[in-house]
Structure 1
């Protein structure tokens, strides 16, 4: 009877743990070159979904945002109340040049599109509860300069690590490893078995 109780306890612990892990951490595949040189086309990234549930976004966070028809990976450059503008190939935030060592190349003096958010023709102030995101490869990236700012609710997670260009099946190996650790923990050791036999003798 004790054996079955142990397995019931095991299942009661492992299944909720897997569900929580699946909600808290996921993998995403980068599509396109808009985040070069830091994230590459078809590269897998690890995304966590906890931070922005409890804390507002911060500068330089690389996030996954829901554009409406798809999820896109971009970097947070503007927070609510920030006034942004592009001058001489540099991004200005609240009148000061933003140090951006992570961008692919200097921004071109012409935008590939003309929208109210393009920052090159006019400055833009980020509304409350929104962020302004941009790709690291600025000259080809369709981001908030094209789509406009994204609400906090559209932020689906923060990218915490780049992985490798393989299918997401590896994540299930992680789950299997976790299950294996729990199973190993519930298996009786030979030392314990010998003690039981001695007690019975």
Structure 2
């Protein structure tokens, strides 16, 4: 009889441990961190199609986004996009002759290397969806690094912060490219 009771207790202990593990995994994934797979070429050369990254869901609960952060946001109910923050609330954003301007001042984009030959069609924020003069409060203006092949704020308009899932900088797959991608990289 004693051995059966010990076995039953052992199974209950295992069941409790598994339930706690699943509960913690659910909490971590729902509120703290989650994986995302890059889908498409819109963030080349920084991120490649099928790169796998971790989203930090809590970073913007304690701080505001910074220019050049890479963020994940809900583009629709079915699809999340990953793009780079370019414009912050209250800023006027434009690209003229392939140069980014924030409040009419040229801004260097340090993640574009000399070898990178990216091209951005000219635009002014006022010409884009919504016709905003500046990025509205509670929003960010995002662009893909591969500007010639990216659905971003030029099409979607400024992104409300309540649609931003979080910040991402840790690439964990493929193994040969594991790294932490800095905002200015």
TM-score (norm 2): 0.73
Matched, 1:142 2:151: yes
User: Looking at CA atoms only, which structure, 1 or 2, has the larger radius of gyration?
Assistant: 1
- Structure with the largest fraction of strand: 2
> Which structure 1 segments of 5+ residues have no match?
167-201
Q: Quick one: distance in 2 between partners of 1:147 and 1:42?
A: 23
Matched, 1:99 2:108: yes
Q: Quick one: distance in 2 between partners of 1:158 and 1:144?
A: 17
Q: Quick one: distance in 2 between partners of 1:130 and 1:109?
A: 22
Residues 85, 124 of structure 1: 8 Å contact kept: no
Residues 27, 46 of structure 1: 8 Å contact kept: yes
Matched, 1:116 2:127: yes
Matched, 1:36 2:47: no
Q: Quick one: distance in 2 between partners of 1:15 and 1:98?
A: 46
Given candidates 14, 19, 29, the residue that maps to 1:22 is: 29
For these two proteins, the number of residue pairs brought into alignment is: 161
Deviations 1:24-66 (A, max 9, x none): 1111111111101110011111112111233222211101111
Mapping of residues 20-99 of structure 1, within 5 Å = 20-23=27-30, 24-68=32-76, 69-99=78-108
Q: Quick one: distance in 1 between partners of 2:121 and 2:89?
A: 26
Q: Quick one: distance in 1 between partners of 2:81 and 2:44?
A: 14
- How large is the Cα RMSD of the aligned pairs? 3.0
Q: 1:138 to 1:124 in 2, by over 3 A?
A: farther
SS at match of 2:26: helix
Residue 163 of structure 1 and its aligned partner are, at CA, apart by: 2.1
| Equivalent residue, structure 2, for 1:154 | 163
Q: 1:2 to 1:15 in 2, by over 3 A?
A: farther
Deviations 1:64-96 (A, max 9, x none): 111125211000111110111111211001122
